[in-house]
Structure 1
Amino acid sequence: MTRFQAPRGTQDVLPAMQPYWQAVLDAVREVTRLHGFQRIDTPVFEDARVFEKGSGDSTDIVEKEMYVFEDRGGDRLALTPEGTPAIVRAYLEHGMASWPQPVRLYTTHPMFRYDRPQKGRYRQHTQFDSEVLGSSDPLVDAEVITMLWRLYGMLGIRNITVRLGSLDDLEPRRAYIRDLKEYYRPHLASLSEDSQRRFERNPLRLLDSKDERDLPFKEGAPKLIDRLSPAAREHHEAVMAALRAANVKFLVDPLLVRGLDYYNRTVFEVVPDDDERAQGTIGGGGRYDGLVELLGGPPTPGIGFGTGIERIILEMQKNGITFEPSPAAEAFIVHRGEGTATAAIQLATALRDLGVATVVGEGDRSFKAQLRSANAAGARIALILGEDELANGVVLLKPLAGEGEQEPQPLAAAPAEVARRLRG
């Protein structure tokens, strides 16, 4: 018989891991509230052109990683590989440019990339994505970075650093790109196949390569951060000053370019301090003042970030963050005998109405077996109901933590008494 497994590059989030997910999602809700963001949810799939235009046709996402399919109506669609173009599409479609600017939006959204699976990186993963549209203020850049920094701190993630860079604006960096190509041209034969291909299509991404064959050439490459235009330099310095004021630990990384075509000016990644080669990025993002135009809108500045929840959880575990197992129930109803099933359901309903997590045992099992299940569920009190108890209008309350004796309680009063004991 065939035994099915989760597809390669995906995972089942089992009950033991749910407290980590809940902690991250709770922290996301709180940190976005503190920074004035509103939630948005976009579809799991979009017109494939949203990402081809928004992410750039020379990126790995578009070239290698997108899940693209044609539906029965002949539309060419893609599962969402990254959040920013989808949110920008929604911004334009719903006329958010007429809202008070800037518009601060966030989502937690499944992302899909046909990538090589490895620890913390899945073909389906969930990303916390945050975007600010309608402001070119460098303080907004710093605020976005600060929100991400605060999120990690709320989750107990320490010993991390923001790596900060600037890509200048599109026109001023054309001269830099010419110089970069001249530097790399004599080394082309020694570069990886991907870098040889990117040399013509997107040479800036030569600095983004993690391939061992490319690393020896990166340090000697000309640095864009050293030759920013005056406007970009002023912007960069304002971002750094604001980050210092917010007590965010950062360092300027002259080789930081990010992997998407639409970034300009501020770019950043958050990396564990023990990752000297910055290959284990937890999250990152940057400014993309030309993206809205690429997707058919008017010139609109924007900045945002993405951080994978699975990657966050790995870092939480690295930092020693653990959770006590959550009990499946506070109260467990043990019942057996004619007529007890209906009374058990009535008891459970009354207990749940009072906010008590309650599990009803299986009436075809012995009292002893049901009590074992009650202990396994982590319940603190068992309510035992047999035919004799039902005939006398009572239920036996039995503490399960080894404290106290079981005692009868009138059926009608039992739910309130159980709630009082649990909450007291």
Structure 2
Amino acid sequence: MAGATMRGTGNRRLRWLLTSSAASNLGDGIGKVAFPLLAVTLTRDPLLIAGLSATQFLPWLLFALPAGALLDRIDRRRAMIVANAARAVVVGAMAVLVAADGVTIWVVYVAALLIGTAETVADSAANVLIPAVVGKGSLDSANSKLQACEIVGQTFLGGPIGSATFALFATFPFLLNSVGFAIAAVVLIGLAGSYRPRSTEQGAPADLRAELAEGLRWLKHHRLMLRLVVVAGLISLVSELAQAQLVLYAIEYLKLSEATFGLFALVGGVGGLLGAAVAPRLVKASSRRAVLITGTGCCGAAFAGMGLTSSPVAGAGLFGLFAAAVVAVNIVLGTARHTLVPGELLGRVLGVWRTVVWGAIPVGALLGGVLTHALGSPARTFLASGLLLFGVAAFAFVSLRPGALDDESATASRVLHQDQ
């Protein structure tokens, strides 16, 4: 009976967290479309437009580590509430400026930087809260649901809502974006309990540098976790070679129209949801290591196939396969972090992880452009990316011993302290 009560409490807490995540991801999806559309109305300078995308990624490179250290010091639920509230205020101010016709491209840059900085706290907090919220529940299932919230909010709902409402009234998507973040903050009030890392309750060191150094030392000496960071970084870098060329692949190589290109994103969203749905079942049927290696191999097969086909239908189907496989891989990697990393260090280790993985995205995008220019076709870049992903799968096979990712015996002792 006590076990059933614990599971019921964990399920309620997870629902509060997922509801908040769904609202914030919907806001993210709307904003990721509305901000570029607004920028295009202010300037057609390709450097300034490209710079906006770089500005949105910049906070992850600059602040992922400090944000992780912060989350290992304070109550993570409260940090998530404050971060979402801050995003709501910034986007709300943008809505006022758009309505008053007082926006410049530099205002858009500043807003994107502020929102991105708060996002490093909010998204990281949602991730590190999972073990505390779930308790003895299934981490694989919880991570798959968190991934599903992101996919639905950003791909299926946020993008279309953002573009449609911007076309009707430019202020509207920013208002919706602000409301989404505000709801995400308010919902978390219902998440009962204390989510402060245990070490801070016992008196953590006050020196932020010392805390960052502690997290880096732990990661340096934890060979399995360090290998997983390398695997995740390589997947991000190599897959972005092709993903950054997706528009050129669809429009120039497959000869699709701009309107039809939207179907690729839709198929990718469907594939991602399927991956989130089946990943926990695949883990139960085999192992996390097997899903990680097979999923990475499927990513390689999908991209290699896209490089070899000229059929739009086959290309879209293979892109859906890639999305399903990469989401399954991300779920396994997320659960591995929650299983292997002590709760009081989870924020700092996640900060290193995100710095490496997200930092690889702009590098991979740049290299993908260079590769396409050298090879003369985006399809050849997809083929090259696919072959390299096979290499990443082989590296994972060699470097990760069987059963390494499936030992959860110490998980319960590593979750955050929480009031019942």
Q: TM-score, normalised by structure 2?
A: 0.21
Higher relative contact order (CA 8 A, sep 6+): 2
Q: Going by fraction, where is strand more abundant, 1 or 2? A: 1
Q: Going by fraction, where is helix more abundant, 1 or 2? A: 2
